[in-house]
Structure 1
């Protein structure tokens, strides 16, 4: 069992594990709504939309977290404005903002001598360089995410499954949509500097998608997503330690692999249920012989 426990006895790997668990919990809360509402494209666009702010902050020597927050906020505001347009579809508006923000970020970073390093850090982060301060910030972000998710649970639920009913019940679906976008933005901004946008996006999508195959209630999906994310973190760090692979990318790849494994097992389960149902139907049709 040494191969399983020894890596986590190293201090920086232990901190990486705790960081991954906190990120998994935050992403489970936000990512469940992303998956249920079909917001994957918007989330991907917003994750790359942080690049201009990060690039400008890096060039000016400012706070990368503040730059990412301002850029993500601008991206969210742009999506909100274009979403009201009658002559432009939502996907088209998001696509235009996505390309524009990403291109702007690349142009800014390309003037820096550390272009490749900065872009690599932005995409993949450095989960093995997590500090105690990073863990505290992630813990605070998790508390905020829990409070927002609990306080806005009913409006989020109504907005996800029946926006018209949400409006009829006076749940202010537009405000709920802004809060949901803010929750996703919080997850991306607070986690990208530690694990990179690739891992954040992976944990926002793959674990909740895997959990929806086994749960039919939103709280259970969130709990399952947190479990899948935690497993992805532990297994990814083990793979990184023993095989010498990049930690962040290993965690992201593991989360996707667990989704496909979950999908396969769910398909086998559904097939078994169908066979049992069919067998029971046949038995009912056949009358017992006296």
Structure 2
């Protein structure tokens, strides 16, 4: 039994896997906090769009040999600013603005990548991440991003709660809903950029949303949901890295798939628990949505 356990967890004896695990944990904590707000506010499409929106910046950084996180941050920021500009001045709906820029930025990113001599290698790393290549310097950047995101979320908590309840309530309470929305978009941008190396631009929304969805049915308090979402995210990183090692699968995709599987399993388990409780009380079956508080 001991030999089996040792063989199962053998990859975590390797330094590069340890860095991947630590980097994944930092990303999971940040995504657990920010992803909770994304789910509550229904901003999944924006998270997906930002993941693709940073593609041109990452691609250009790869071609020029500059830090990819810098390029990703510039690309994602340009995407969020562009969405706001189109919505205000072009009188387009929020989802229409996102959809237009989504395709434009994705196309531009692929065009930039095509100028690289290592198109296939660069495209794979950009689209699906390379968590096993996380370096000590990357860990410092991820730790800073995680700390900044958690701190900003804590400081803006009351504003974000008011925004989630009703923008009119937020305005009446003097919380400036536009500023709160800008802070939330900034947090989503930070989480997407920080998650890039772990799961790439295509799979980032899975790590952002799935842990928050998995945690949603078990608690009605936002702070508790964030903690539980972070725990689910950490479990997904741990499980995904193990699966990647033992089944020779892509590490980033394995982490994202583990997060989705945990969300599905959590939802089914919660439904079973609620149904069993209702049968015991003799109440009609059905699920009620958790309160936002």
The bucket for the TM-score relative to the shorter chain is: over 0.9
> Do the aligned partners of residues 243 and 83 (structure 1) sit closer, same or farther apart at CA in structure 2, a change above 3 Å counting?
same
Displaced runs of 4+ in structure 1, greater than 6 A?
none
**Gaps in structure 2 of 5+ consecutive residues:** 285-293
TM-fit CA distance, 1:47: 0.5
What's 1:103 paired with?
107
What's 1:245 paired with?
249
TM-fit CA distance, 1:112: 2.0
What's 1:45 paired with?
49
What's 2:33 paired with?
29
Q: Is the 8 A contact 1:210 1:259 kept in 2?
A: yes
2-side partners of 1:82 and 1:161: how far apart? 26
Q: Is the 8 A contact 2:24 2:198 kept in 1?
A: no
What's 2:145 paired with?
141
2-side partners of 1:113 and 1:279: how far apart? 64
Question: Cα RMSD (Å) of the superposition?
Answer: 1.6
What's 1:9 paired with?
13
Q: Does 1:115 align with 2:119?
A: yes
**Gaps in structure 1 of 5+ consecutive residues:** 281-290
1-side partners of 2:94 and 2:162: how far apart? 20
What's 1:273 paired with?
277
Q: Which of 83-92 and 181-190 deviates more?
A: 83-92
Number of residue-to-residue matches in the alignment: 280
What's 2:135 paired with?
131
What's 1:285 paired with?
none
TM-fit CA distance, 1:105: 1.1
Q: Is the 8 A contact 1:198 1:249 kept in 2?
A: no
Q: Does 1:72 align with 2:76?
A: yes
CA offsets 1:149-185 (integer angstroms, 9 cap, x no match): 1110001111112111001111011011111111111
Q: Is the 8 A contact 1:199 1:251 kept in 2?
A: no
Map 1:218-233 to 2 at 5 A.
Answer: 218-233=222-237
Q: Does 1:216 align with 2:220?
A: yes
TM-score, reference length from structure 1: 0.92
**Matching residue within 87, 92, 95 for 1:91:** 95
TM-fit CA distance, 1:53: 1.1
TM-fit CA distance, 1:3: 3.1
**Matching residue within 174, 193, 214 for 1:189:** 193
